[in-house]
C-alpha cells in the first residue's frame, strides 16, 4: 500500500513551500489564555519558523542544532523534497514517497489516509515517542527510530521498510528527528507568544534597538538549543537491561509474575484486566488526544475544525495475542514494563533496590523479569488459566 499511495503522494498532492502551522496547538492556547492569535502573529510565527527550519523542499538546520552534530546534510536532502532521484540515481524525497501519506508532509500525523487508522499515525511535532530504549520523557535514540522504520509496528498501520537500503532508513530516521525538533520549537514559540507577550507585541521587534533585538533573538536561540540538546542527550540515557539471574526456575518466575500482575503494587490488572485481555480501564486517551479535554464537546468541535482527528480512547494491549508493538524480544518487554510507554496511560514501574525490606513499595529488576516471563507465557493459552 505504501508504494501505491506513495506514487499518489508524488503526483496528486500540492505541497506548499512552507510547512503548515500547528493550528491545533494554537487553538489549545487560544482557549487556555482566552486570547485569539491575530493574523499578524500567525504570519510572524510562520516566517520565524521558515527562517529557522526552511520548508518541505529545502529544510534548514539552525546553527544551535548544527553545532550539536545531530544532522547530516546528505541524509536531510535525500529525505526531504519532492520524490525523484539525483544524477547518480540515488533516491530523493524519501519521506514524501514513503511516509507523508500517513504522517503528513509536516509530520502532523494527519496524512490523507490517517483517519482510517487506529491508532492514528504519530504526530512527530510533540517530540513524543512510544517505543524506545530510553525512559519516559526522554527522546528516542537514532537506533530506536531506525528500528521502528525497519520493522514497522506490528498490530498497527505502521508498515515495515526492511526492503529499503540501510542509508535510506538512516535518512528517514533523521528526518523524523528534524520534523520533531522543528515541531517542538514551533510549540515552544506558540507557548512563548501566548504566555509572555501582549497580542500586539512581536516576538522579534524590527523597530527595537539592536540590544533589545539581540535579547529577543536569544529567547528563540535558547529554545532551539534546549530542544536540540534533549535529542543529543538520548544516546546516554538508554535503560540498561541486566539479564535475569541464571538458573532461575521459569515456572516459579511465571507464578510470581502473575501474582505481581494482579497485585496492588504493579497493578497491571487495572488496565489489562484480570485475564490480560486489555479489557480493564478503556476510557482513557493518549497524550496526542489530550491537546484539549476530549470530553468537552465545544472544545472538540473547534479542535476538529483546526485540522485534528477526532480523539478515540486508547486500548490497553490484549497480552494474550502475543503481538507486541514495540518488539517482542525479552529486552523490549523488560524496557516497556520498566519505563512505561510514553504518551499513553501505561506507567513506568516504581523500581526499588534488590535488598530493600519487603515493606518497601516497588518492583525489583528481578520482579520485572518475572512479569516478562508471565506475559510471555500467555499467548496461546486459554484465558481461563488466569484462575489459580
Ligand atoms: C500506512 C500508514 C503509515 C505509513 C505509510 C507510515 N507510518 Fe509511521 N506510523 C503509522 C502509525 C499508525 C503509527 C502509530 C502506531 C502507534 O501509535 O502504535 C506510526 C508511528 C510511527 C513512529 C512512532 C514510533 C514510536 O515509537 O512512537 C515513527 C517514528 C514512524 N511511524 C515513522 C514512519 C516513517 C519514517 C515512515 C516512512 C518510511 C512511516 N512511519 C510510514 C502509520 C504509518
Ligand atoms: C494505566 C493503564 C495501564 C497500566 C496500569 C499498565 N498498562 Fe500496560 N499498557 C497500557 C496501554 C494503554 C498499552 C498500549 C499502549 C500503546 O501501544 O499505545 C499498554 C501496553 C502494554 C504492553 C505492550 C507493549 C508492546 O510493545 O506492545 C505490555 C507488555 C504491557 N502493557 C504490560 C504491562 C504490565 C506488565 C503492567 C504492570 C506492571 C502494565 N502494562 C500496566 C496501559 C496500562
Q: CA of 316: how far to CAs of 122, 127, 268, 357, in Å? A: 17, 22, 10, 32
Cell of 153: 509496528
pLDDT one-digit tens code per residue, 31-40: 899 999 999 9
Residues 113-141 have a mean pLDDT of 97
Rounded distance between C-alpha atoms, residue 120 and residue 182, angstroms: 21
Rounded distance between C-alpha atoms, residue 181 and residue 68, angstroms: 13
Neighbours of 155 (CB within 10 A): 13
Q: How confident is the model at residue 294 (pLDDT cuts 50, 70, 90)?
A: confident
Is residue 276 within 8 A of residue 378, CB to CB? The reply is yes
Rounded distance between C-alpha atoms, residue 261 and residue 270, angstroms: 9
pLDDT one-digit tens code per residue, 223-233: 999 999 999 99
Is residue 295 within 8 A of residue 301, CB to CB? The reply is no
For ligand 2, say whether the CB of 271 is within 6 Å of any of its atoms.
yes
Cell of 259: 501474582
Residue nearest to atom 21 of ligand 1 (CA): 122
Residue nearest to atom 13 of ligand 2 (CA): 316
Rounded distance between C-alpha atoms, residue 384 and residue 207, angstroms: 73
Residue nearest to atom 34 of ligand 1 (CA): 99
Q: How confident is the model at residue 299 (pLDDT cuts 50, 70, 90)?
A: confident
Q: 109-143: b or e for each residue (b if 16 or more CB lie within 10 Å)?
A: bbbeebeeeebbbbbbbbbbbbbbbbbeebbbbbe
Is residue 46 within 8 A of residue 18, CB to CB? The reply is yes
For ligand 2, say whether the CB of 20 is within 6 Å of any of its atoms.
no
Neighbours of 351 (CB within 10 A): 12
For ligand 2, say whether the CB of 326 is within 6 Å of any of its atoms.
yes
Q: Whose atoms come closest to the Cα of 2: which ligand?
A: 1
Separation of CA 108 and ligand 1 centre (Å) = 11
Query: Which residues, 6+ apart, have CB-to-CB distance to 260 below 8 Å?
Result: 266, 268, 363, 367, 370, 371, 374
Quick one: which of 258, 261, 268 has its CA closest to 347? 268
Rounded distance between C-alpha atoms, residue 133 and residue 141, angstroms: 8
Cell of 319: 497480552
pLDDT one-digit tens code per residue, 237-252: 999 999 988 888 999 9
pLDDT one-digit tens code per residue, 310-325: 999 999 999 999 999 9
Quick one: which of 240, 243, 239 has its CA closest to 373? 243
Residue nearest to atom 2 of ligand 1 (CA): 102
Cell of 284: 482513557
Amino acid at each position: 500500500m505504501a508504494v501505491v499511495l506513495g506514487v499518489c503522494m508524488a503526483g496528486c498532492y500540492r505541497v506548499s513551500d512552507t510547512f503548515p502551522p500547528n493550528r491545533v496547538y494554537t487553538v489549545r492556547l487560544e482557549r487556555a489564555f482566552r486570547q485569539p492569535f491575530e493574523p499578524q502573529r500567525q504570519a510572524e510565527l510562520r516566517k520565524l519558523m521558515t527562517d529557522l527550519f526552511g520548508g518541505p523542499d529545502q529544510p534548514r538546520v539552525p546553527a544551535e542544532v548544527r553545532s550539536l552534530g545531530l544532522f547530516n546534510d546528505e541524509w536531510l536532502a535525500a529525505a526531504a523534497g519532492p520524490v525523484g532521484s539525483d544524477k547518480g540515481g540515488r533516491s530523493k524525497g524519501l519521506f514524501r514517497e514513503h511516509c507523508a501519506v500517513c504522517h503528513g508532509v509536516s509530520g502532523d500525523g494527519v496524512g490523507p489516509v490517517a483517519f482510517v487508522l487506529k491508532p492514528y499515525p504519530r504526530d512527530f511535532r510533540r517530540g513524543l515517542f512510544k517505543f524506545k530504549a530510553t525512559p519516559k520523557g526522554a527522546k528516542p535514540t537514532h537506533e530506536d527510530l531506525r528500528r521502528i522504520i525497519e520493522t514497522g509496528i506490528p498490530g498497527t498501520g505502521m508498515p515495515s521498510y526492511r526492503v529499503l537500503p540501510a542509508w535510506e532508513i538512516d535518512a528517514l530516521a533523521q528526518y523524523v528527528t528534524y520534523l520533531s525538533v522543528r515541531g517542538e520549537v514551533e510549540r515552544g514559540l506558540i507557548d512563548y507568544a501566548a504566555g509572555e507577550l501582549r497580542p500586539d507585541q512581536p516576538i522579534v521587534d524590527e523597530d527595537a534597538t539592536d540590544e533589545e533585538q539581540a535579547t529577543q533573538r536569544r529567547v528563540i536561540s535558547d529554545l532551539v538549543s534546549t530542544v536540540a540538546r534533549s535529542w543529543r542527550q538520548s544516546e546516554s540515557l538508554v535503560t540498561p537491561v541486566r539479564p535475569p539471574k541464571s538458573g532461575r526456575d521459569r515456572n516459579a518466575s511465571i507464578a510470581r509474575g502473575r501474582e505481581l500482575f494482579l497485585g496492588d503494587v504493579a497493578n497491571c490488572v487495572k488496565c489489562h484486566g484480570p485475564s490480560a485481555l486489555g479489557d480493564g480501564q478503556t476510557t482513557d486517551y493518549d497524550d496526542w488526544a489530550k491537546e484539549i479535554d476530549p470530553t468537552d464537546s465545544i472544545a472538540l468541535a473547534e479542535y476538529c475544525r483546526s485540522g485534528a482527528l477526532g480523539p478515540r480512547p486508547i486500548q490497553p494491549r490484549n497480552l494474550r495475542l502475543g503481538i507486541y508493538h514495540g518488539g517482542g524480544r525479552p529486552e523490549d518487554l523488560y524496557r516497556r514494563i520498566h519505563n512505561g510507554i510514553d504518551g499513553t496511560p501505561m506507567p513506568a514501574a516504581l523500581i526499588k533496590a534488590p535488598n530493600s525490606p519487603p515493606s518497601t513499595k516497588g518492583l525489583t529488576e528481578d520482579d520485572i523479569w518475572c512479569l516478562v516471563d508471565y506475559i510471555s507465557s500467555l499467548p496461546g493459552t486459554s484465558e481461563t488459566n488466569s484462575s489459580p
